[in-house]
Chain A
Amino acid sequence: MTGSCSKRKNVKMSKTLTGLGAGLCVSLFLAAFGATAQPVYDPMRPSMSPLAPLATGPTAQGSQAELDPKLGNLPVGPGAEDTYYQCVGCHSTAIIRQQRLTDDRWDYLWTWMIDEQGMQEPEPEIAEQILAYLKTHFSSER
């Protein structure tokens, strides 16, 4: 799959790098995929991990939630905007969107970001709103 996608995409590479055509490979990929019958079950899909019960929260929920492309594809919801501006000074939202953590771990990461990485602490109400947003959308608990 990847191979056919790469070949067709090769010539367009530089443009996509400058920001255009981001969705392009997705459609090529799907088209290529569609040509070869149904997708084969992947035994190494993270949600299929043998220890994992059914995938809850993050990925399942995340794929349904509407994403806001203006806010780094964070899921739409109260606190999204504050979270975006608080968090993207150092890294992209990609590291946030990958998480599905316990509430305790989010509380810990919040202080880690401040104490170890130099994140500026916002006003308490804003902090509360951001943490609530993170615990809602990137949670292993809900």
Chain B
Amino acid sequence: MTDKITDGRSDKAEIADEPTRRTILKATGLTALGAYVGMNIPFEGNLMALAQGMSEEDIMSGKNGLVLLNDRPLNAETPAHLLDDDVTPYKHFFIRNNGFVPDSALDMDAEGWTLTIDGEVDTALELSIGELKSRFEEVTLRLVLECGGNGRAFFNPGASGNQWTTGAVGCADWTGVRLSDVLNAAGIKSSAVYTAHHSDDPHLSGDPDKEVISRGVPIEKALAEGGIIAWAMNGEPIPAVHGFPLRLVIPGYPGSASQKYVNRIQIRDQEHDGAKMTGYSYRVPAYPVAPGTEVPEEDMVVLTDMPVKSLITFPQSGAQAAAGEAMEVRGHAWSGSGDVASVDISIDFGATWTPAALEAPVNKFAWQRFRADVTLPQAGYYEVWARATDLNGVSQPPVVPGWNPRGYGNNMQHRIAMIAT
């Protein structure tokens, strides 16, 4: 088999020549990627995902080492040791898709794209990308995006949705304009309560009248520091699967607040009730419940700030170290309120903790690097645990926090195995 297949590009070219491929895939619902569900995607060094005219499947060829949770819609998470970079590169950035990637994004075609700001504003705006760039100050911010359901896999009984473990998080450099600048240019009326985000990604059912997802945030959050309307990720046009040509990045909130393919931000005089704002989506019980409890819908409240969290990104779990010798352990810490105060490390199952060195974030809502030297006293099995604490003194719990029907907000301490030799 191996000898037949030596040049990846010729096959790729064939795919690109089939104009109806994407349509066929969508219609038949078959994807060759299906066989990879639950596995690491081994494809390396191929950036077809940035090329023109690709299909959804090609996207995974630009994603190195991610674990595919669902092939339709695409959902894939990143193993912790692949998140070691300060700035998560495209190839290691997790994918949370609720619907299909629009063809305009797959073709990287932004021709005629506009962003509408309307609703409870003094003057509705319809801005081309050119106008966004010329009328407002450009900013580049390093911002964490984390899926609200990151850590869902650890809830028991299970919570519905993709079973993310620790890898539905990444921190990229996003370039665009401040969301607050654009909203203020439209003039926010005193009646404004909530934003409502809209995009043009196709619903899985193919029904053109159905929105895949339409979420929003309280107007105070929309106007607060950090939120941007972005057109570039790590200095490149935002890749198709991450929201080309425009997306919101509203850090601190669950990733779903950061609408991809955004073409309209409506300002509403009430909490938004769009797709995946209601029911159990991105909501948690208003009061603590025992695992497995059926919570009435009216008792579910919108998930807002993500909890304080950290991830050990080096070494990879299972690494060996010489007993009695110091070895660097490092990772990142972040919190929905943007203020991690400290990180501590334990090598004895949380019995004792040692402070790690913690770097300041390059800007609010960037993740913060922590480093610690650990010395494993004698040969054998160890676990390294990390615990971040925010400025209010709130830390990550050692166990899965409050069960909720959809499995949001699990910020339990991350742990890796280390073998001393």
Contacts and interface: CB of A to CB of B under 8 A. Distances in A.
Interface of A: 2-3, 5-7, 9-26, 29, 39-44, 46, 49-53, 58, 72-73, 88-92, 94-95, 97-102, 104-105, 108-109, 112, 116-119, 140-141
B42 interface: yes
Interface stretch (B28-36, B134-142, B223-231, B247-255): B28-36
B292 A17 contact: no
Contacts of A105: 157, 160, 405
A116 B211 CA distance: 10
Nearest to B278: A116
26 contacts: A2-B65, A2-B79, A9-B44, A12-B2, A13-B8, A17-B43, A40-B417, A43-B317, A46-B154, A46-B163, A49-B412, A52-B156, A58-B158, A73-B37, A91-B72, A91-B204, A92-B71, A94-B71, A95-B162, A102-B294, A118-B205, A118-B207, A119-B205, A140-B156, A140-B292, A141-B157
B8 A24 contact: no
Nearest to A43: B415
Interface in B51-67: 57-58, 60-61, 64-65
Given A5-B40, A17-B57, A101 B318 contact: no
A30 B251 CA distance: 39
B154 A51 contact: yes
B303 interface: no
Given A9-B43, A13-B46, A117-B204, A46 B165 contact: yes
Given A44-B166, A44-B414, A95 B204 contact: no
Given A10-B43, A21-B1, A116-B275, A98 B156 contact: no
Contacts of A15: 1, 4-5, 11
A131 B57 CA distance: 31
Contacts of A16: 32, 43
B185 interface: no
Contacts of B205: 89-90, 117-119
A97 B205 CA distance: 19
Interface of B: 1-2, 4-6, 8-12, 15, 29, 31-40, 42-46, 57-58, 60-61, 64-65, 68-73, 79-80, 82, 153-154, 156-160, 162-163, 165-166, 203-205, 207, 210, 275, 279-280, 291-292, 294, 317-318, 381, 383, 398-400, 405, 412, 414-417, 419
Given A17-B61, A58-B158, A141-B157, A91 B70 contact: yes
A6 B64 contact: yes
B163 A98 contact: yes
Leading 6 A-B pairs by shortest Cβ distance: A22-B35, A140-B157, A40-B318, A14-B11, A100-B158, A90-B204
A41 B415 CA distance: 12
Given A6-B44, A42-B417, A43-B416, A22 B36 contact: yes
A19 B28 CA distance: 15
Given A6-B43, A22-B35, A52-B156, A14 B5 contact: yes
Contacts of B79: 2
Given A43-B416, A94-B69, A50 B163 contact: no
Contacts of B160: 99, 101, 105, 109
A22 B64 CA distance: 17
Nearest to A100: B158
B29 to A, nearest CB: 5
**How would you classify the secondary structure of chain B's contact residues: helix, strand, loop or mixed?**
loop
User: Counting chain B CB atoms within 10 Å of each CB, which of A73, A90, A98, A104 scores highest?
Assistant: A98
A7 B45 CA distance: 9
A18 B11 contact: yes
A81 to B, nearest CB: 16
Contact of B43 (A13, A91, A112): A13
Contacts of B46: 13
A105 B275 CA distance: 19
Contact of B37 (A18, A39, A94, A104): A94
Contact of A17 (B32, B39, B381, B400): B32
Given A13-B8, A43-B415, A94-B34, 14 more contacts: A5-B40, A6-B44, A9-B44, A19-B35, A46-B163, A49-B156, A51-B399, A52-B154, A53-B156, A92-B34, A94-B37, A98-B163, A99-B160, A102-B294
Contacts of B71: 92, 94
A88 B40 contact: no
B203 to A, nearest CB: 8
Given A15-B11, A105-B405, A99 B43 contact: no
